[in-house]
Structure 1
Amino acid sequence: MVNVVFLHPDLGIGGAERAVIDAALALKSRGHTVRFVTAHHDVGHCFEETKDGTLMVTSVGDWLPRKILGRFYAFCAYLRMIYAAAYLVFFSGLKLDVVFCDQISACIPVLRLSGAKILFYCHFPDMLLTQRRSFLKRLYRAPIDWLEEKTTGMAHSVLVNSKFTAGVFRDTFKSLTHIEPEVLYPIPDFTAFDQPVEPPSEQLLPACKVIFLSINRYERKKNLSLAIRSLALLKEELSSLDDVHLVMAGGYDERVNENKEYFKELSHMTKELNLAKHVTFLRSFSDAEKRTLLKYSTCLLYTPSNEHFGIVPIEAMYMKCPVVAVRSGGPLETIAHGETGFLCEPTPKDFAAAMRKFVENGTLAEKLGKAGYERVMKKFSFVAFTSQLDNIIGQLCED
């Protein structure tokens, strides 16, 4: 049995959070002791396992600022993570065999002082997640980018979430050519998805023949407007949208200005395009509601480009819900074009063409949904994920 502590910046309800929670559940199922240390944990905005006692969570350093004068988000995030690492090493009193950290590598030098093995899970290089349009921004980011690369190389083992991210890792971190990150697909624990699914309420899903579903955080990089513009084009081609509806379900946090701003932009867009009665917005939802959405929707529209992996398409296919996604990044590895869904260019024209197939062919969703479930069971098994991660932890402790 190994004592594993997961160190994560913010245990909200995003894909990164889902990935580390499922990793913890996998290791716990193999008899290891697991718990979380995080800089922020809001029981009103988190996954069920982190508040119902399934996983022990300790939150430290939430008093530290998330921003300074409306800026310096990265600096503050690094500071909060380093503080959490210092608490874990010097004050927690926990026995540490392995520390599994992700997103922010700046804490690794502190973690190395514990004598534990450090496993870093790279969802995507942080330096690629922000633009540098001004000289001051480039000046600000330069030491942060250097620190990210330097500290990532200090981990005993580095994992990435897809072959796509592995390629980006090699191209980005030029000084880490000696590191060959291992691909560990962040496969969810499907146990919860096997529970009985409640029939949808009118507030959750309208009584329509064809329901398109989008599940993603309300962030501009997720390109949620693509789903709305594609629906508008579909309306033009079909003359009407009788019995067709789009549900925009997204993670939403009042603390995040972008969430609030983008939600308003999308709401305004639906009114401008005369789609208000054909689009329903959901801001955050329970796990049970998510299962209902996936089970009773015709297909999932997954709109981000160059997505690092994408857990939601895997969940959708497991629930026999076909996926229409952008032809780039992780979906290239998870979705079989024409068999479990469709891979498209990130344009309303391409997406609308794929959506039209489901409107005109009433049996297509069932056919592709069944194939999607079979693909997940064959290639993205949680059992295989658990075994791979357990072996990685075992090898780390033996070295």
Structure 2
Amino acid sequence: MVKVVFLHPDLGIGGAERLVVDAALALQSKGHQVHIITSYHDSGHCFPETKDGTIPATVSGNWLPRSIFGKFLALCAYIRMIWAALYTVFASDMQPQVFFCDQVSMCIPVLRLFTKVPVLFYCHFPDLLLASHRTYVQKIYRAPLDWLEEKTTGLATTTVVNSHFTAGVFCDTFKSIGRRPEVLYPSLNFESFDQESAFTLSSVINTVKPIDFVYLSINRYERKKNLGLAINAFGLLKSKLYDAQIHLIMVGGYDERLLENVEHYEELRSLSTSLNLGDSITFLRSPSNEIKTCLLKNSHTLLYTPDKEHFGIVPLEAMYCQLPVIAVNSGGPLETVEDHQTGYLCHPTAEEFAERMQYLYENRNIATKMGERGRHRVIQHFSFKSFSHQLNELVSGLAVSR
């Protein structure tokens, strides 16, 4: 048994959080002891495994600010993770044999300085590429943070990433590190999708209007997720199939503490209104896992709109639930979605998305076959079993190397 302590900045609901939870569950399944240290955890906005005690979680540093007058989010995240690391080293009695860190690498030098415990760092994507550098002030602010990100990431004992796409970006971005990270694909815990749901589609979207075909979009309400593409494509399709009983469900991770979530949610609703889509679109904010699973099982096609997405767990969830996936032809979907086999990889234009949406609507048999192939692909290449095996080997190897 290896004692593994996870350090994660904000244990909410999102792809990064899902990976951390799955990694903890994977190590538990191999007989290891796990514990998550985080600077924020809301029992009303988290994955159930961190709420019901399956995975123990400790909050430290929530009193530290997340931002300063809505700015300096990255700096505050660095400070909060340094605090979490100091708490783990000096105020807890966990005595881990391996640290698992992700998203914010600033905790790594603290762990390496004060302990001899190896650190596994999971890089979802270089943060410096996600941050804005448009203005002179932003460039000055980001310069030391970007430098620190590269240097602290290089201090990890082992670094892994979520896709070959991210591995390539990692090497191009962090040139001083000089080693290519190993790829550890995120996985699905199939059991959570195999359980029967007490919900029905009509109860979730609260409509009595007959619906013949449902398009589904799942992503956080963030502008970089390009969610307007799904709405614009649906608007084009609706204009072509005016009498068709089609519906679009926009599901978004939503945190009222984040101004962008609040603003973008309203922007998308305004876009829907401007296109006269009315009751043909349903917007949902941070639904439960059970409701999300119900939607995946009762929809017909997934629309996945982010461009250059690092990996993207949602297409895997959709394919396992036998939905064809229409995704942008860049980033992680190039490694998960087989073009013309389990879905379509398209240029990020409303016209091309709408064309593929119409084709699947008019050719249900092809959509069904794509869904079947997608489920087989996920089971074969992205199982929780293979993820657990690879992560167990990494952690066990690090523990032995101490």
Q: What TM-score comes out, normalization by structure 1 length?
A: 0.98
* Mapping for residues 20-169 of structure 1, pairs under 5 Å: 20-112=20-112, 113-169=114-170
1:125 and 1:5 mapped to 2: Cα distance? 22
2:381 and 2:17 mapped to 1: Cα distance? 22
Partner of 2:224: 221
Residue deviations 1:271-291, cap 9 Å, x none?
100002210000111111111
Q: What is the CA distance between 1:114 and its match in structure 2?
A: 2.0
Q: Is the CA contact (8 Å cut-off) linking 1:161 and 1:308 kept in structure 2?
A: yes
Aligned to 1:352, the other structure's residue is in SS state: helix
C-alpha RMSD of matched pairs (Å):
1.0
**2:10 is the counterpart of 1:7:** no
Give ranges in structure 1 of 5+ residues lacking alignment.
none
Aligned to 1:62, the other structure's residue is in SS state: coil
Amino acid at match of 2:16: A
1:307 and 1:98 mapped to 2: Cα distance? 29
Q: What is the CA distance between 1:70 and its match in structure 2?
A: 2.1
After the TM superposition, which of the residue ranges 217-226 and 129-138 deviates more from structure 2? 129-138
Partner of 1:233: 236
Moved over 6 A (4+): none
Aligned to 2:214, the other structure's residue is in SS state: strand
2:99 and 2:312 mapped to 1: Cα distance? 24
Amino acid at match of 1:273: L
Amino acid at match of 1:134: T
| Aligned pairs, number | 397
1:214 and 1:326 mapped to 2: Cα distance? 13
Q: What is the CA distance between 1:241 and its match in structure 2?
A: 4.7
Amino acid at match of 2:226: N
Q: 2:347 aligns with which of 345, 348, 355?
A: 345
Q: Is the CA contact (8 Å cut-off) linking 1:122 and 1:161 kept in structure 2?
A: yes
Amino acid at match of 1:363: N
1:343 and 1:241 mapped to 2: Cα distance? 27
Q: Is the CA contact (8 Å cut-off) linking 1:214 and 1:302 kept in structure 2?
A: yes
1:95 and 1:264 mapped to 2: Cα distance? 46
1:328 and 1:270 mapped to 2: Cα distance? 26
Q: Is the CA contact (8 Å cut-off) linking 2:238 and 2:244 kept in structure 1?
A: no
Query: Taking every aligned residue pair, what percent have the same amino acid on both sides?
Result: 56
Q: Is the CA contact (8 Å cut-off) linking 1:18 and 1:188 kept in structure 2?
A: no
Aligned to 1:307, the other structure's residue is in SS state: coil
Partner of 1:365: 367
Q: Is the CA contact (8 Å cut-off) linking 1:97 and 1:397 kept in structure 2?
A: yes
Partner of 1:391: 393
Give ranges in structure 2 of 5+ residues lacking alignment.
none
Aligned to 1:131, the other structure's residue is in SS state: coil
Q: Is the CA contact (8 Å cut-off) linking 2:2 and 2:33 kept in structure 1?
A: yes
Amino acid at match of 2:129: L
Q: What is the CA distance between 1:359 and its match in structure 2?
A: 1.5
Q: What is the CA distance between 1:200 and its match in structure 2?
A: 1.4
Aligned to 1:293, the other structure's residue is in SS state: helix
2:361 and 2:368 mapped to 1: Cα distance? 13
Residue deviations 1:252-283, cap 9 Å, x none?
11100000100000001111000022100001
Amino acid at match of 1:31: G
**2:315 is the counterpart of 1:313:** yes
**2:296 is the counterpart of 1:294:** yes
Q: What is the CA distance between 1:89 and its match in structure 2?
A: 0.6
Q: What is the CA distance between 1:69 and its match in structure 2?
A: 2.2
2:199 and 2:355 mapped to 1: Cα distance? 29
Residue deviations 1:292-327, cap 9 Å, x none?
000000011000000000001101111111111000
2:243 and 2:389 mapped to 1: Cα distance? 47
Residue deviations 1:48-100, cap 9 Å, x none?
00001100000010000011122111100100010001000111111110010
2:23 and 2:70 mapped to 1: Cα distance? 34
Q: What is the CA distance between 1:236 and its match in structure 2?
A: 2.4
Q: 1:378 aligns with which of 380, 387, 401?
A: 380
